[in-house]
Amino acid sequence: MNYLNPDGFDGLDGFDGSKQSAQLSDCLDQLEKHFRKFVYLINEDDYPKLALWTFHTHVADVTYTSPRLLLESPIPGSGKTTVLEHLNKLCRNAHLIASAPTPALISRILNDDIHTLLLDEAHNTLNPDKPGMSDLVAIINSGYKKGATRPVLVPSKGGAWESADMPTYGPVVIAGNNPRLADDTRQRCISIRLLRDTLERATESDWELIEPDTLDLVVYVQETADLTRELIRDCQPLLPDGCKNRDRERWKPLARIATVAGRGWATNATGLITRDLDNAKMESESIGNQLTPGEQLVTDLGEIFTPGTRFLSTARILETLISENPEQWGWKSQYGKPLTFQRMGRMLNTYGVYSSKDGDTRGYYAGTFLNAWVSLGIREPSKPSEPSEPSGPAESRD
């Protein structure tokens, strides 16, 4: 597959109407298309997010910060390995590491160039309470900002040792089953939540067949990065209100790329940032709870949708939630007010669940919750007997 001919794009909607912007827009489109084909993500937002993050690894030398990408799931078998395999092929100088790396190893990997570290099994390897993890976590935290270094002992003449500052800056992926990360690590992460692809929506990654096209895509990404690096370096994007401090450091690299790409990518990135900030506020109420608010909501809805229930209106769902669990969804909640249509809709959207209409009534079909229920162990894996009639994000009104 030939990705190296952007001449068919006039770039009229690009950052500056240039061929560079048009090629960057197309390159991001191709990355998103690749992930949509081979990876199942429950949240539609996560496909462009993954494309932007992957591309940023190739220009991390000019973005100043590199947000950590967190791939997390409540259960095993949710596709983290598949995502890591594709990132291992597509990211800049990628290293897939399944066991806990030593701080010295990370420093030496990053010493000669920017490399992308893919850390699997983070629920085992990055537990902040585990002995010896503090140095490793400190490197991951400090290394998200350009110029970060770590003193390392290196051999010198005469068999002696001397201290040398080695760089720790570079992109990092953290993958695990609800890993227990320190707060300051999570604050540096852009998160993608995974659930099992129970309906087998994604195409199987048979690398014997797909590697040639994937390598072509890598070449295109590298060429595009070289072509647009200076534009991205000089770009200072406008970020949404409220995107400050560490949030700004996380999102600015991706916003720079999206702004240069134009063609809707800048608008898309603004939406990603805004929804991420909103979700962070909602997740803050999970402190002290075993389940996050989203997991609690999906669990409660599993009880409300009794076997045989095909459709429930949004109003009835909301009324039932508030009456049956007032401490979570009513006036007694940490918000100090009942759950609203809008907040419930945003929480469900992160699980790939959207409202629809049954006649003139807006609500939710039981079938749209199937994948979330199965992944959280609420229901057995079986296809719904009634058509689920799910709506896409564009039709959601909550």
Tokens of 60: 């991390």
Residue 174 CB burial class (10 angstroms; 0-12, 13-18, ≥19): buried
Q: With beta carbons less than 8 A apart as the criterion, state whether 75 and 376 touch.
A: yes
Of the chain, the end-to-end C-alpha distance in Å amounts to 41
Hey, what are 147's tokens? 């110029």
**DSSP state, 277?**
H
Polymer length of the chain = 398
8 A C-beta contact, residue 326 and residue 332: yes
pLDDT score of 388: 46
Which string of DSSP letters, residue by residue, matches 314-365? Answer: HHHHHHHHHHH-HHHHSTTSTTSS---HHHHHHHHHTTT---EEETTEEEEE
| pLDDT score recorded for residue 11 | 33
Predicted local distance difference test score (pLDDT) of residue 283: 65
Contacts of 352 (CB under 8 A, 6+ apart): 41, 42, 43, 44, 195, 371, 372
Is residue 9 classed as helix, strand or coil in its secondary structure?
coil
Judge whether 218 and 30 are in contact, CB under 8 Å: no
Look at residues 378, 221, 350, 195 and name the one whose alpha carbon lies nearest to residue 283.
350
- pLDDT for res 3: 47
CA distance linking residue 138 with residue 245, whole number of Å: 19
Contact 15, 21 (CB under 8 A): yes
Question: Tens place of pLDDT for every residue, the chain, 398 residues?
Answer: 544 433 333 333 345 558 999 999 999 999 999 999 999 998 999 999 999 999 999 999 999 999 999 999 877 888 999 999 999 999 999 999 877 666 667 766 776 789 999 988 887 767 666 666 777 788 888 888 988 777 666 667 777 777 667 778 999 999 988 887 878 888 899 999 998 888 889 999 999 999 999 999 999 999 999 999 999 999 999 999 889 999 999 999 999 999 999 979 999 999 999 999 888 777 655 444 467 788 889 999 999 999 899 999 999 999 999 998 888 898 877 777 899 999 999 889 888 899 999 999 999 999 999 988 988 878 877 654 444 454 454 444 34
Q: Count other C-beta atoms under 10 Å from residue 375's C-beta.
A: 24
pLDDT value of position 396: 41
280 in Cβ contact with 315 (< 8 Å): no
Q: What is the pTM of this model?
A: 0.74
Closest CA to 389 of 295, 328, 361: 361
Token pair in block for residue 72: 């997390």
Ordered strands of the 356-358 beta sheet: 311-313, 361-365, 356-358
